Structure 1
Amino acid sequence: MSEIAYVRGDATVPLGKGVKVIAHVCNDLGGWGRGFVLALSRRWPQPEAEYRAWHRDRAVGDFGLGAVQLVQVERYVWVANMIGQRGIRTGSKGVPVRYDAIDTALGRLSDEVIELGAAVHMPRIGCGLAGGKWSRIEPLITERLVQRGIAVTVYDHGEGGG
């Protein structure tokens, strides 16, 4: 049984060969403009454009907590927009991260990743602006991805993940 690989670096420049899916957490408000998404947008316009369109058309789509949108950005690279945050501010209901939504999204992601024959690359999802604790998120990744035989690499970067 393998485990999560931790590396220093930029999750938008995933290491290794083969098909790669860069997974990250988005909010349920259609907001894209702080945290890890800025690094994504500096590399590729498609994830932001697709996410905004997905939110705009949410009445007819599956946009909402736990949903996943895969966006192809290069021949062998995809970005997974996972809705795992309720709103963007810490308030009376606590921090924006929703562990159950991240769990659901990772479960959906695993099916897609297996179909693509891909490895998953990510920052410490849900632990930047979303305010989550890695000690709660890491077991979800292990259960949903690693235990299904998916290689997962987590990137620690100077500016923190989203």
Structure 2
Amino acid sequence: MSEIRYVRGDATVPSVKGVKVIAHVCNDIGGWGKGFVLALSRRWPEPEAAYRAWHRDRARNDFGLGAVQLVKVDPYVWVASMVGQRGIRTGSKGVPVRYEAIDTALGRLAGEVIELGASVHLPRIGCGLAGGKWSRIEPLITERLVKRGIAVTVYDHGEGAG
């Protein structure tokens, strides 16, 4: 079984051949404006527009914790927005990250990625603004993606893990 590959660099510019899915965690209140999503929006307007529309029409779709939205941004690149945090602020219920939702989203993502024949590229999801611990998220990625034969690369970059 392979392992997660760690590299220094920008997760929005995966340097491998083939179909790539750039995955990130977003919140359940429609907020898009801090952290890794800014790097995504600088490269492509589509994921933000699609996420905002998905949230706006949430009464009629699957938007919510654990949901995944895939948006094609290039012939070989997709962006997967995974709803894995409740709100955006640390409060009485703790940090915004929801590990169960990230786990559910990763499970849903796996099926899509296998169908696309893609590799997955991501920052340390859930660990920036969401306040999560990588020691809790890394095993979820291993269980849901790596164990299903999906190549996963995690990017450590000065700017936004989140």
- Residue 112 of structure 1: aligned partner: 112
Distance 2:135 2:141 in 1: 11
Residues matched between the structures, number:
162
- Percent identity for Structure 1 against Structure 2: 87
Distance 1:140 1:147 in 2: 10
Distance 1:160 1:21 in 2: 17
RMSD of the alignment, in Å? 0.4
Q: TM-score, normalised by structure 1?
A: 0.99
Distance 2:45 2:160 in 1: 21
1:17 equivalent to 2:51? Answer: no
Distance 1:23 1:160 in 2: 13
Ranges of 4+ aligned residues in structure 1 off by more than 3 Å: none
- Residue 156 of structure 2: aligned partner: 156
Distance 1:87 1:31 in 2: 8
- 1:7-52 per-position Cα deviation (integer Å, ceiling 9, x unaligned): 0000000121000000000000000000000000000000000000
Distance 1:141 1:52 in 2: 26
1:88 equivalent to 2:88? Answer: yes
3-state SS of 2:22 partner? strand
- Residue 99 of structure 1: aligned partner: 99
- Structure 2: gaps of 5 or more residues: none
- Structure 1: gaps of 5 or more residues: none
Q: CA deviation at 1:160?
A: 3.2
Distance 1:76 1:122 in 2: 16
- 1:77-118 per-position Cα deviation (integer Å, ceiling 9, x unaligned): 000000000000000000000000000000000000000000
* Aligned 1:128-147 pairs, distance under 5 A: 128-147=128-147
